[in-house]
Copies of this chain bind each other. A is one copy, B any other.
Amino acid sequence: MNNFLLSTPTRIRFGEGQVINLPKEIPSTANILLTIGGGSVKKNGILNAVMSSLQDYKITVFEGIEANPEFETLLQAIELGKRESVDYILAVGGGSVLDGSKLIAAGIANPAVEPWEIVTSGGKAAKTALPIGTVLTLPATGSESNGNAVISRRSTGDKLGIASPLFYPRFAVLDPTYTYTLDERQVANGVVDAFVHTIEQYLTYPVNAKVQDRFAEGILCTLIEEGPKALQEPQNYDVRANIMWSATMALNGLIGAGVPQDWATHMIGHEITAVHGLDHAQTLAIVLPNLMANQKETKREKLLQYAERVWSLDPCDEESIDRAILLTRDFFETMGTSTRFSGYGIDEPKIERIIEKLNEHGMTALGEHGKIDLTSCREILEAAR
């Protein structure tokens, strides 16, 4: 097991009706900037529930944080927050609203720093940040209890990650019933995203970290069992609860503590989104099975362990690796998430453009060994046509 520092300070309020506990989490004197996305939380009643729980608070609402949160939009929120002298950010939505709110919290608290500098510095330019609370509506990114965010700037074609202990939400309200109104694609995307987050921290090489491995396998098994059910029975509370908790656990630092991590699938996927505009999770589904096949030798031991513990295959049979990869592919397809470009109507993927982008962003030595180079990336993408 590798050495690690693990910090999981976000308080979790999990279950139906937890929104009534918001006043226990937010100081009564707070002047809140409440951030939301495109307005679905207005239609489904979640915003009303939040406002009603916080009826004694001073609240300014900022609406319009889009998927892949746009820097220019977040700038407007920062300006609004400054004008209203807010001192607390409450993000109500999915990963994009939460991610965007982290930059908003930093931008308002650091008036002397250019917000774009906070982004380009990876978050380091932020010396402080307003406290952030979260009410999650789409389990996927884990943003509700980690210090990470991804910010996009369409005018420059940038999609950049920021991270800081300052960005950890103080609390996360996780109410599985808030996910009942998600459409199938959103549910599928969330399940695939959480699955691949787990794989990125698990499917590398063994370091004898038994608890971390077992936890990761537990999350994978749960997503495999519950994902298809979430599509079939959209209002099955326990199914939604298990998926929501899996997604949070997949990226709060716990399963990645003390183990090597890969993240090549994410890096390649980001460029596919930039070039082809596919959903984040769709790009992960395109890349992962082909990356697993491409890296079969490097990941052999963990692939056999994955085959055995997640798919109940014989770990002494080398063919179990190919079967496990096929079952992974089938799982994504069962979720309605195609694992090939062609599944999204892209008959001629712009592979060279994606490779150029990877090169441009310095993504030339990916994976847990830093050995997935542009040649391997090209092979992976070619196999994904």
On A, residues with C-beta under 8 Å from B are 1-9, 11-18, 21, 208-215, 217-219, 221-222, 225-226, 238, 241-242, 245-246, 249, 257-258
Contact = CB atoms under 8 A, between A and B. Distances in A.
A241 B218 CA distance: 20
Nearest to A246: B211
Contacts of A215: 214-215, 218
A249 B213 CA distance: 13
19 contacts: A1-B14, A1-B241, A1-B242, A1-B245, A3-B14, A3-B16, A4-B12, A6-B14, A12-B257, A210-B226, A211-B218, A211-B219, A211-B222, A211-B242, A212-B245, A214-B215, A214-B217, A214-B221, A214-B222
Contacts of A12: 4-7, 257
Nearest to A8: B8
Contacts of A8: 8-9
Contacts of A242: 1, 208-211
Q: How many copies does the complex hold?
A: 2
A249 B217 CA distance: 16
Contacts of A218: 210-211, 213-215, 217-218
A221 B13 CA distance: 29
A172 to B, nearest CB: 10
Contacts of A245: 1, 209, 211-212, 258
Nearest to A253: B12
Contacts of A226: 210
Contacts of A11: 5-7
Contact of A14 (B14, B18, B213, B258): B258
Given A1-B15, A258-B15, A214 B211 contact: no
A241 B14 CA distance: 30
Contacts of A249: 211
Contacts of A212: 245
Contacts of A13: 5
A7 to B, nearest CB: 5
A139 to B, nearest CB: 12
Given A242-B1, A257-B14, A9 B9 contact: yes
A19 to B, nearest CB: 12
A142 B4 CA distance: 18
Nearest to A165: B11
Instruction: Output the residue of A4, A218, A238, A258 with the most chain B CB within 10 A.
Output: A218
A23 to B, nearest CB: 14
Nearest to A21: B5
Instruction: Output the residue of A4, A6, A225 with the most chain B CB within 10 A.
Output: A6
A1 B214 contact: no
A354 to B, nearest CB: 34
Given A3-B17, A14-B258, 11 more contacts: A1-B15, A1-B241, A1-B245, A2-B15, A5-B12, A5-B13, A5-B14, A15-B258, A208-B238, A209-B241, A211-B246
A13 B215 CA distance: 19
Contacts of A210: 218, 221-222, 225-226, 242, 246
A144 to B, nearest CB: 12
A24 to B, nearest CB: 9
Contacts of A257: 12, 14
